[in-house]
């Protein structure tokens, strides 16, 4: 047996305080009667119902105790219940190349992406979530899991230092993400690709074909501006500088929307450009991903305990009823004694 709302046990202190007060008042009352009535008269008064007052108080307090027990919702006895969790598999692939340090989307492209992923976890409907980081190459930073706390930990670690090799291998990021999915169910798997889409390397067409064959829909979030922004870097001593080319000219990181639209269109996904106020991830999830099919992600057996609050509640009403009957009996006895 256990109590679902054990915190109601503190109400018993009120019952105890009330009991002390009522019994003290009764003791005080009898003390006053002994002061103003003779022993013979006092004995007659007590036989006319006064002796039942203590018992009535005890019934009242016992009824309150049973009420508190009912509020605590006692449970005992159980049946086994099969618990199934259904949802979708979602992998978020995040560009961690140096171009993501550009600040045209404040505080920076990468920081905005990390915040958007954390916001996405707040509205997920029981889906499994995984994380892929990519730049010049790609790797699975967090495999598909229902433990969002673990995903949050890996999201906070996203940084260009994770992948020393520069560049933006979107094709490899898609391939790694597709390989990280489990099963072959179509329309249950979504890849969210967050990148500025520039400096493409590798065979992107093969990766798109791989995603299509596996039934993976790719939803692209373009982060940055088509006009471009300089890439600020901070060295170990805290000095700020900007990325330059071989000629010493400042490099501008520009958003490549055309490529990202192509990826989304060919895989049945969607494209959205990030803006300063948000990443549009919530809209993509609620309008597109949440309408996709679900599959069984986890199955377990759980004990389902039976509610038993009815028993102490019935006992409380019985105590109050007996107290009421006792009171009426005392009144009738008192009246018959007077008539005699």
- Between residues 243 and 64, which one has the greater pLDDT? 64
Return the pLDDT at 235.
Answer: 62
88-102, 199-213, 304-318: least confidently modelled range: 199-213
Confidence of residue 198 (pLDDT cuts 50, 70, 90): low
Span of 25-39, 100-114, 205-219, 264-278 with lowest mean pLDDT: 25-39
pLDDT for the residue 206: 92
pLDDT of amino acid 61: 92
254, pLDDT greater than 90:
no
pLDDT score recorded for residue 78: 74
pTM of the entire structure?
0.63
Pairing of strands 240-242, 252-253: unpaired
Q: How far apart are CA 109 and CA 196, in angstroms?
A: 9
**Which of 194 and 27 is assigned the larger pLDDT?**
194
- Given this model, what pLDDT does residue 317 score? 92
Distance CA 337, CA 6 (A): 48
pLDDT in tens, 184-193: 788 899 999 9
Distance CA 92, CA 272 (A): 15
pLDDT, position 249: 67
201 by DSSP, 3-state: which? coil
- The answer, yes or no, to whether residue 103 has pLDDT greater than 70, is yes
Residue 146 to residue 184: CA distance in whole angstroms = 19
The answer regarding whether domain 84-299 maps to CATH 3.40.718.10 reads no
Is beta strand 89-95 parallel, antiparallel or unpaired with respect to 189-195?
A: parallel
Task: Provide the b/e sequence for 162-197 (b: ≥16 CB within 10 Å).
Answer: ebeeebbbbbbbbbbbbebbeeeeeebbbbbbbbbb
Angstrom distance (rounded) from CA 218 to CA 240: 36
Residues 121/154, Cβ–Cβ less than 8 Å: no
For residues 138 and 176, what is the distance between their CA atoms, to the nearest angstrom? 7
pLDDT value at residue 335: 45
pLDDT band at 106 (very low <50, low <70, confident <90, very high): confident
Could you read off the pLDDT of 199-227 as tens digits, one per residue?
566 688 999 999 999 999 999 999 887 77
Domain locations along the chain = 2-73+309-339, 84-299
Determine the pLDDT at residue 4: 85
pLDDT of residue 167: 74
Q: Which runs of consecutive H residues, i.e. helices, occur in the chain?
A: 12-36, 39-45, 51-71, 109-121, 148-156, 170-180, 204-213, 257-267, 281-287, 310-339
pLDDT band of residue 25 (cuts 50, 70, 90) is confident
Above pLDDT 70, what percent of the chain? 78
pLDDT higher than 70, residue 301: no
């Amino acid at each position: 047996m256990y109590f679902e709302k054990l915190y109601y046990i503190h109400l018993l202190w009120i019952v105890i305080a009330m009991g002390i007060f009522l019994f003290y008042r009764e003791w005080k009352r009898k003390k006053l009667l002994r002061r103003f009535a003779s022993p013979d008269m006092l004995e007659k008064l007590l036989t006319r119902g006064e002796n039942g007052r203590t018992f009535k108080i005890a019934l009242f307090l016992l009824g309150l105790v049973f009420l508190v027990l009912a509020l605590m919702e006692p449970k005992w006895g159980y049946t086994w219940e099969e618990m199934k969790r259904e949802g979708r598999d979602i992998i978020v692939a995040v560009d961690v190349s140096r171009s993501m340090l550009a600040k045209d989307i404040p505080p920076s492209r990468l920081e905005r992406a990390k915040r958007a992923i954390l916001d996405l976890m707040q509205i997920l409907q029981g889906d499994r979530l995984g994380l892929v980081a990519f730049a010049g190459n790609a790797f699975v930073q967090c495999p598909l899991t229902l433990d969002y706390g673990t995903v949050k930990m890996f999201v906070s670690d996203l940084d260009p230092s994770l992948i020393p090799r520069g560049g933006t291998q979107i094709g490899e990021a898609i391939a790694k993400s597709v390989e990280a999915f489990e099963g072959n169910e179509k329309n249950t798997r979504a890849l969210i690709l967050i990148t500025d889409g520039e400096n493409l390397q590798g065979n992107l067409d093969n990766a798109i074909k791989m995603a299509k064959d596996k039934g993976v829909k790719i939803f692209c979030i373009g982060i940055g501006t088509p006009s471009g922004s300089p890439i600020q870097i901070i060295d170990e001593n805290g000095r700020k500088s900007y990325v330059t080319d071989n000629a010493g000219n400042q490099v501008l990181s520009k958003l490549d929307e055309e490529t990202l639209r192509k990826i989304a269109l060919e895989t049945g996904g969607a494209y959205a450009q990030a803006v300063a106020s948000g990443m549009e991830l919530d809209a993509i999830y609620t309008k597109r991903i949440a309408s996709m099919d679900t599959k069984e992600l986890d199955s377990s057996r759980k004990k389902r305990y039976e509610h038993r609050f009815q028993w102490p509640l019935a006992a409380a009403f019985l105590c109050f009823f007996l107290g009421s009957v006792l009171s009426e009996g005392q009144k009738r006895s008192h009246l018959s004694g007077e008539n005699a």
